[in-house]
């Protein structure tokens, strides 16, 4: 796992008893609009790992999400990682377009 997780951001994620609740959630394809939207919402109550093929892209998306949540004064727990790091979670969300031209589903026998 060395080198997979580049940065971790946690702010105001503590509840009254001092524990950050929720699950560890990975978002594969977290650098797109859908992935960032999911990260913004889920990171307020869960530990979220934004995954990408390129660590730099994950880090930029993580920075953008953190900045947005700081401006809104909302709690968050976000980590930037490669896609492999996003798989080391309780729940993994796939947030990338599905290309029909490459994957055809045959509905006839």
Tally of domains within the chain: 1
The pLDDT tens digits for 25-45 are 999 988 999 999 999 999 999
The pLDDT tens digits for 68-95 are 999 999 989 999 999 888 888 889 998 8
Domain that holds residue 80: 5-94
- The CATH code of the domain that includes 39 is 3.40.50.720
Residue 107 resides in a domain: no
Residue 99 resides in a domain: no
Residue 35 resides in a domain: yes
- Answer yes or no: is pLDDT of 16 > 70: no
Q: Do residues 6 and 78 lie in contact, with contact meaning Cβ atoms separated by under 8 Å?
A: no
Specify the pairing of strand 47-52 against strand 76-82.
parallel
Residue 104 resides in a domain: no
Is the model's pTM score more than 0.75? no
pLDDT in the model for residue 101? 53
Residue 27 resides in a domain: yes
pLDDT in the model for residue 97? 73
- pLDDT mean over 42-52: 93
Residue 109 resides in a domain: no
Query: CA angle 7-94-109, nearest 5°?
Result: 160
- How deeply is 31 buried, as exposed, middle or buried, from its count of CB atoms within 10 A (0-12, 13-18, 19+)? buried
């Amino acid at each position: 796992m060395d080198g997979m997780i580049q940065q971790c951001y946690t702010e105001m994620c503590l509840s009254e008893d001092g524990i950050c609740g929720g699950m560890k959630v990975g978002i594969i394809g977290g650098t797109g609009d859908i992935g960032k939207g999911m990260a913004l919402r889920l990171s307020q109550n869960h530990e979220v790992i934004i995954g990408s093929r390129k660590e730099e892209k994950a880090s930029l998306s993580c920075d953008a999400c953190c900045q947005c949540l700081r401006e809104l004064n909302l709690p968050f727990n976000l980590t930037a990682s490669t896609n492999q790091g996003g798989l080391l979670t309780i729940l993994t969300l796939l947030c990338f377009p599905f290309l029909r031209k490459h994957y055809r589903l045959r509905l006839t026998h």
